[in-house]
Amino acid sequence: MGNSKELLKLYTKEVDQVIAGYLPDEEGQQKNLAAAMNYSMKAGGKRLRPLFMREVYRLLGGCGREVEPFMAAIEMIHTFSLVHDDLPCIDNDRLRRGRDTTWVKFGYHMAVLAGDGLYGYAFETAARALAFTKDAGAVGRCIGLLAKKSGISGMIGGETADVELTGKPMTEEQLDYVYRLKTGALLEASMMIGAILAGGDEKQVQTVEHMASCVGMAFQIQDDILDLTSSQEVLGKPVLSDEKNHKTTYVTLYGMEQAVEMVDSLSKEAVKALESLPGEHGFLRDLIMMLVTRER
């Protein structure tokens, strides 16, 4: 695990460098918009989605550059969701990753536009993968997958249900729906795109989707746990925000002990799926475990 932590630092730096190469130029009449977009993108973070994408791509034998535009695109979409989540009309958060949220820094209206800009620019960026491969069909399939998993059938659909149900009692079925779409869908897209671009077969793509679904659910439940047990200094964002916004979580439904058990069970299921795939699993296995058991 120690070696994996060092690799994680190195790989995260590499991913940051890839993403930086695809950020919009801050020039012209839209320079303030680009500045707000880039501020949001440069806020740091774990870069988990592009990292998982690249590592699944490598695991299944990928060795080209066509994955890089998609790595940047998936992070743009994730960042767009955070920018809009933080807005006063949704979560009304003023701190993200230890610094002012985009709407606090640039104003409400520019933050809305920055989120919109990141979502559109993500697909413009993903299309640049065509320059790095002769398999236009795979790139097209991945763009379609990115749209589906991030749109009304995926992340945005989950966000919609989350907003509509905030402050209302939620059933397990409703909460499961929100988490699988709001958090899980984009992780699924990340890993599935890595598998498709590497030439993985359909069974491998399905296995990767299941693995990502388990990781996404475990990650979100652990986030519920940390919202109650961690601190703003550690997380880089306000704690007790779920309680403030009257949100149902797995902790409120099942209690802390059972929520921890769920995280452990989902983690094991994700690792089992990973180990059914070819290649060297060590780093990805450690990454999953570091992610879903963070701050314990």
The β-bridge partners of 95 are: 100
pLDDT of amino acid 179: 93
H or E element at residue 95: strand 95-96
C-beta neighbour count of 108 within 10 angstroms = 13
Q: Which residues of the chain have pLDDT under 70?
A: 1-2, 230-246, 295-296
Whole-angstrom distance, CA of residue 96 vs CA of residue 238: 8
Model-level pTM?
Answer: 0.92
Whole-angstrom distance, CA of residue 163 vs CA of residue 196: 33
- Chain position carrying tokens 């909460």: 175
pLDDT of amino acid 247: 75
* DSSP conformational letter for 96: E
Residues in the chain: 296
pLDDT of amino acid 292: 84
Q: How far apart are the first and last CA of the chain?
A: 15
Q: How far is CA 259 from CA 38, 85, 144, 219, in A?
A: 36, 24, 34, 11
Q: Which residues contact 254 (CB under 8 A, 6 or more apart)?
A: 262
At residue 100, φ and ψ (nearest 5 deg) are: -55, 140
pLDDT of amino acid 167: 84
* DSSP conformational letter for 184: I
pLDDT of amino acid 234: 47
